Amino acid sequence: MPLTSESVISFGNGNGFQAGPTACQSGGRAYYLRLERMPRAMEDLLLYVTNGVFMGTSYALVALGVTLIVGIMGIINFAHGEFYVLAGYFSALFARGVGLDPVSSMLVAVVLVFLVGLVVERILIRPTYGEEMYSLIITFILYIILQNAYLVIFGPFPSKPPSWVSGATNLFGMFYYGNQRLASFAAAALVIAVFMIVMHKTWLGRVIRSVAMDREMAAMLGVNTARVNMLSFGLGCVLAACAGVILAPVFPITPTVGVGISLTAFVVMILGGLGSLTGCIVGGLLLGIVENLGVAYLSSGYKHLFGFVILILVLFFRPTGLFGQKQL
């Protein structure tokens, strides 16, 4: 539908325009523009689904890292969201403080978080192999340490790296959607695609999957399983970091957003099936769409509750998740 002269466009809750009942705003600004036109129901639905797909892709990206670590090492990384936050802070720091361009600041941030992940695995996680309880306790304590360290170092204020692009694009001729969101969506989808190709088509992916399938057999065939563990923990952190640098321009980083990120990742992981990468992607998209529709049509205060309700339903009716407990 072309933009006609009588359709008026405005941000947010301007005169005669609605920001819609969604709570998804970034930095106080509505993320989309809507044309003044009736009827609304179809547009609304499409808008919520679009937003759901965007959110779902981000959820999938975050959850892939946790799933990789669970699949290979059998360890839940409760500090996953904190690595996301760390990468967000790094990218903001390098872009605003040091003055690098967005792409190189993002790359530096991801590489730094990868190194942090390797160090954490070597020093803290490796001694707990075979003792599930202590690995849970240690990553939980790590989450508390990192969250409080961010609070002390960066303060409680939101921090945001510069946007890559500005403006908005008309989608389906119905509403305008922020370009930064579209760019983040594309980047997240790209990272997921590259990761899946690496896991399924390359030598490295085969080695990692062999360890997930049968650790002892892989070790007998000459795979250095300790090294693979370290690498996959690092890779899990890289996925969290990618999500962090991609989403930070949309959702500003604060020291406490990490918990929400981790919890969402866990819900997606259980929904998709513990250790299933495909399940993770499907679960992420599903959660994103359901959450957005739920927020739109039911209640916005209980955004996280929808995820938890899904979690309980999954545990009740299909405890192994949508894609079962299969190998990577």
Q: Which C-beta is closer to other proteins: that of 78 or that of 114?
A: 78
Q: Is 27 in the site for other proteins (CB under 8 A)?
A: no
Q: Is 324 in the site for other proteins (CB under 8 A)?
A: no
CB of 148 to other proteins, least distance (A): 4
Burial class (CB in 10 A: 0-12, 13-18, 19+), 138: buried
CB of 76 to other proteins, least distance (A): 6
Q: Which two tokens stand for residue 300?
A: 């916005």
| Nearest Cα residue to 109 out of 85, 132, 125, 131 | 85
CB of 118 to other proteins, least distance (A): 17
d(CA 265, CA 270): 9
Binding track, positions 286-315, relative to other proteins; x by CB under 8 A: ---------------xx-xx-xx--xx--x
SS3 letters across 199-252: HHHCHHHHHHHHHHHCHHHHHHCCCCHHHHHHHHHHHHHHHHHHHHHHHCCCCC
Query: Other C-beta atoms within 10 Å of 321: how many?
Result: 23
Residue 37 to residues 6, 33, 44, 168: CA-CA distances in angstroms?
9, 12, 11, 18
Using CB under 8 A as the binding criterion, the count of chain residues that bind other proteins stands at 41
By CB under 8 A, which span of 47-55, 157-165, 168-176, 268-276 interacts with other proteins?
268-276
Start-to-end C-alpha separation, the chain: 44
Binders of other proteins among 41-80, rule CB under 8 A? Answer: 70, 74, 76, 78
Check if the beta carbon of residue 75 is closer than 8 Å to that of residue 313: no
Instruction: Select from 144, 193, 197, 217 the one that contacts other proteins (CB under 8 A).
Output: 144
Q: Is 259 in the site for other proteins (CB under 8 A)?
A: yes
Which residues contribute to the site for other proteins (CB under 8 A)? 70, 74, 76, 78, 123-124, 127, 132-134, 136-138, 140-142, 144-145, 148-149, 151-152, 259, 262-263, 266-267, 269-270, 274, 301-302, 304-305, 307-308, 311-312, 315-316, 319
